[in-house]
Chain A
Amino acid sequence: MTTLTPTSRGGAPAAGRTVLVLGATSAIASAFCRTRAAAGGRLVLVGRHETRLAAIAADLTARGAAEVATVTTDLGDMAEAEARFAAMIARLGPPDEVLLAYGVLGEQAAAQDSAEETRRVIDVNFTSAALWLQLAAKHLVADGRPRTLVVIGSVAGDRGRQSNYVYGAAKAGLDAFAEGLAHRLHRTNVKVVTVKPGFVDTPMTAHLDRSGPLWAKPEAIASAIDRAVASGQRIVYAPWFWRPIMTAVRFAPRAVFYKTKL
C-alpha cells in the first residue's frame, strides 16, 4: 500500500534556479513556477493564503521542483518589510530570480467614489511593490551571479484611460520605478525585466467577457516571462501584439482618444 505524501519523488532533478515568487497564487505566477519546477528549480512561494500556497507547492513538487518553501504573508502590508524580506530569502538562499506577480485590479467605478479604494489600488500595486523591489535590489547586488528581477506590469500603465486609470497609474508608476532600477543596476549582475501582459484569462478577470482574439492564457504569459529572463530584454509585451497596439494607444491624439470608451 502506497502512502502518498506531496514530497515523495523519484528521479534526480536537474540543478535548477532558485526563484522567489511574490504573489505565488496568481495564475500567471503559478504557470511560471511550473516552467521552473519542470527544470528542477527551487521555489519560495509568498502569498496570503496558506492552504493555496500549500496546494501550489505540492503541484510544483510533483512536477519536479527540487525544493519548495512557502511564506504566508500579506505583501500589501508594508510593516517591517525589511525583516520580512530577509526571512523570505533566508528560506532557500539568495534567489536567481525574483518574480513580482501580485496585484489587485480593483474596481475603477468604486475607486472614483472612494479615496480608500483609490489608495488601496495604488498601495498594493505600486507602493508595496516598489518597496519589495527596492529590498530585492539591495539584497541581490552583492555577488557576481546573473540574477533577474521580473516585474509584472500591465499594458494599462502605458496611458491613462477613463475606464482603468487608478490601476493604470499604479502600474505606470511601477514602470518608472523598474526603469530607474534597471538604470541603476545596469553595470551589475542584476537585470530588471518588465513584462506587460494584456488581457489574461485568470480569476482576476473572471468578471469580464473573455471572448475575442486579444485574450491570452496564463501559460502563454509564463512562456513570455521565461523568454524575457533568458534574453534579458528590458520590456516585454505579452503576447507580442500588445506592443503595436499600445504604441497606437499611446500616440493617439486626444481629439480622437477622448471620444473612445477605452
Chain B
Amino acid sequence: MEQIELDYETVQLAVRGSRKAQEKLLIYYDRYINTLSMVEEEDEEGHLRRYVDEDLKAEIQRKYLEAISKCKVIK
C-alpha cells in the first residue's frame, strides 16, 4: 500500500467526525496497526508462524476511531 501524507486538514476533519478523513487516517496508520496486531505462534511442527490477528486489528481500529474525537490538540 502506498504511504500517504498526513496533513493538518485531514486530521482536523477526522477529529470533527468526517468518516472519509477517519478512513484516511486508518490507511495512514495501517502499517503501524499491522505491526501491533502481529502475532507469533508455533505450529505443531515447531515452525514459528507470524500473522496479523484480524480481530485485534479491528479492535485497535475501533478504539482508535473512538479516541480521535477526544484529541484536544487539533481544533
Please determine whether chains A and B interact with each other in the same assembly.
no
Binding site for A on B (CB under 8 A): none
